[in-house]
Amino acid sequence: MHRRRLRPAIVALAVIASLLLTPSAVTAPPAAAAPSGGKKVIANLFEWNWPSVASECTSTLGPKGYGHVQVSPPQEHVRGNQWWVAYQPVTYRIESRKGTRAQFKSMVDTCHAAGVKVIVDAVVNHMSGQDNGGTGWAGSSYQHHVYPGIYQAQDFHYCGRNGNNDIVNYNDRYEVQNCELVNLSDLKTGSGHVRSQLAAYLNDLLSLGVDGFRLDASKHMPAADIAAILGRLSRPAYVVQEVIHGAGEPITPIEYTGNGDVHEFRYGKDLARVFRSERLAYLRNFGEGWGHLPSGVSSVFVDNHDTQRDTGGVLTYRDRGIYALANAFMLAWPYGSPTIMSSYTFSGRDAGPPSDGTNKTLDTACYSGWECEHRWPVIANMVGFRNATEGAGVANWYDNGNNHIAFSRSGRGFVTINDEDSAVNGRSYYTGLPAGRYCDVIHGTFSNGTCSGPVITVDGNGWFAANIPAHDAIAIHLAARLP
């Protein structure tokens, strides 16, 4: 297979860089199969506090057309600054370093008013991983396998393997679903009591207006257990499950699709490999054609909070220009439901978000400790492209056999990406779009009938001519057509 050289990061920036800162056996009826409505893009505001999420829904997410915001786990957790403390529940009180119950409720209401639905990252597989117990964020006392008023020792799995009950062998289904994930006390999700407690937590969030859940560590629970918990929900909710594909492993993502959407972890890794060292021409059948999950149940992302901490596996904010291009492709390509990662700047793998001396998360200040990729103009403007082309198929595919591609979204939009190391000049492109003047949303924002960047003129036969610099793109769509 042809492999081109890895480009230095400074080369990958190109023109884009200047824009950055400006089937399960059991089905649970209450789960929605995909994000509802015409606006399916999710912004993952990882570790943002509730007032900041509320403000962002009003100022950016709603206006830019994001349909959903995914927020970090809101329940009381163990103390500390690391990002993963939020994934170690102590109680199901909505009280965490990101804010109070009242602030959470206000955030949900504010986001709804801005037309943005709220998805909660819900930790339901386990409780804490602290051997000696302690006191949680809101003052609740706990032990590793005792959570007063919620769970006692009999509510957890003790698999009796590997000397410490931890998972070691991912080729053993029993071990993966009955042993402890890195010492996290593993809930006996087959138990009626545990199911009732978890359903009560999720229903409490639904009572606050939440629209859906990302179920963390779903792979470590049988799909039937998840279905039984979802069957106790008070009303329908969108569900996406974290099930990491492992080659040759007995537990597969497809088992969980009867419960709702499933994260397709292969997507980001494959996309990174293509952009870094292979050919964009290979993307012609990207998605199901690559053995990924069926599009209708697949949740996709260039990176998420876990994968961006895995060295070299995916593209992240540090890749700047090429990262923006990969996200632009994801938003233009009609496979899966896309999530845009919004990170804080980190160097150490365990580093938590910007916080005060008590480890309370600070208000978000974009581009100052917070990366805010969802605001990068290339990415934010392509959310509108995704919305405008929702439901339209791919047509008019073109590639040069290497790293220049183009395609239409059946009469609604057109995109061309040049990831060559040199410009592509003097070419014309067939769009299949009506004649008119269109805002190039890669380089400009369309607002109130005007475009802040270049305007592309499509002639009466559906063609336009343009020069495209190295590592750059052009995207136009019907909803950004000038008068």
Q: Which residues are catalytic?
A: 216, 242
Longest alpha-carbon distance in the chain: 73
Task: Count the Cβ atoms, other than its own, within 10 Å of residue 479.
Answer: 17
Classify strands 472-477 and 413-418 as parallel, antiparallel or unpaired: antiparallel
Angstrom distance (rounded) from CA 178 to CA 356: 37
Counted residue by residue, the chain has a size of: 483
Residue 284 region by backbone torsions, left for phi larger than 0, else alpha for psi between -120 and 50, else beta: alpha
DSSP 58: I
Contact 57, 114 (CB under 8 A): yes
User: In which residue are the tokens 């969108």 written?
Assistant: 238
What are the residues whose beta carbons fall under 8 Å from the beta carbon of 448, sequence distance 6 or more?
A: none
Buried b (16+ CB within 10 A) or exposed e, 345-367: ebeeeeebbbeeeeeebeebebe
Classify strands 117-122 and 134-135 as parallel, antiparallel or unpaired: unpaired
Classify strands 424-430 and 463-468 as parallel, antiparallel or unpaired: antiparallel
Contact 62, 12 (CB under 8 A): no
Contact 384, 479 (CB under 8 A): yes
Classify strands 450-451 and 455-458 as parallel, antiparallel or unpaired: unpaired
Question: Within 13 Å, how many C-alpha atoms sit on residue 470's CB side?
Answer: 9
C-alpha pair distances (Å), 29 with each of 49, 189, 298, 300: 32, 19, 18, 23
Over 428-446, what HEC string results? Answer: EEECCCCCEEEECCCCCCE
DSSP 261: E
What are the residues whose beta carbons fall under 8 Å from the beta carbon of 235, sequence distance 6 or more?
A: 30, 206
